[in-house]
Amino acid sequence: MVLKQRARKEEDKQQRRDAITKAARALLERSPRLDATIAEVAERAGVAKGTVFLYFATREALELAVLEVELEAWFDAVDGELDESGKWTVQRVTSVLVSTVVLRKLMVRLLGKLHATLEHNASEEVILAFEKRLAARSLATGARLEARLPFLAKGSGAKVLAYTRALLTGLWAMAEAAPAVQRAMADADMAPLRVDFEREFEHSLSALLKGLAAE
């Protein structure tokens, strides 16, 4: 009986944690500057503000949880595409990675904050758990990449995914610059510095993979 009660309590805790994460995701998705407050998250989740902090000690820990949900969905989508049969080329793999990324703007925006702020304002325990799960998914999806692109050495697929994250976060930051920068970029002389995220991401990723193939 005690074990059942304990299991039920753990299930209730997980459901509440999931509800808070889901509420935060919904709010962050429509917040251009990712500035939804904990109070807003609590209200949407139907819990007290203090309850949110029982599950997530900091705002950054909550955003890490949302990022993990987004990354899991992305890895699932990429895995599903890579498991399809047919002829696989650099261009096909590039198309898979690009098409699955452009649908997940919240993931890209949160990845842009990962190393700059999120990892600096969450507990070591939370960060370690996040990084371990990210590593596990990267290795699994990386192995699929290696199967589709034979020129990739064993274990290098995960590194390709790390390069992919670096490319997409850097290009996104340039494409989604501050309003003043965007106004400046409207000038004809600034054309060489403008960044079309999807086009540049696809071009850069294709060049990366072709370079690895040439090696």
What's the rounded Cα separation, in Å, for the pair 18 and 15? 5
Q: What is the pLDDT of residue 215?
A: 87
Burial of 173 (0-12, 13-18, 19+ CB in 10 A): middle
What's the rounded Cα separation, in Å, for the pair 110 and 189? 32
Best CATH choice for the domain 1-55 from the list 1.10.10, 1.25.10, 2.60.40, 2.10.25: 1.10.10
Residue 2 has pLDDT above 60, yes or no: no
Q: What is the pLDDT of residue 28?
A: 96
Q: Does domain 58-214 fall into CATH 1.10.645.10?
A: no
Structure tokens at 26: 């919904």
CA distances from 64 to 31, 41, 68, 179 (A): 16, 15, 6, 26
144-191 residue pLDDT tens: 999 999 999 999 999 999 999 999 999 999 998 888 888 888 888 888
Confidence of residue 52 (pLDDT cuts 50, 70, 90): very high
Q: What is the pLDDT of residue 4?
A: 57
Q: Within the chain, how many helices (H) and strands (E) appear?
A: 10, 0
Residue 3 has pLDDT above 80, yes or no: no
Structural domain boundaries of the chain? Answer: 1-55, 58-214
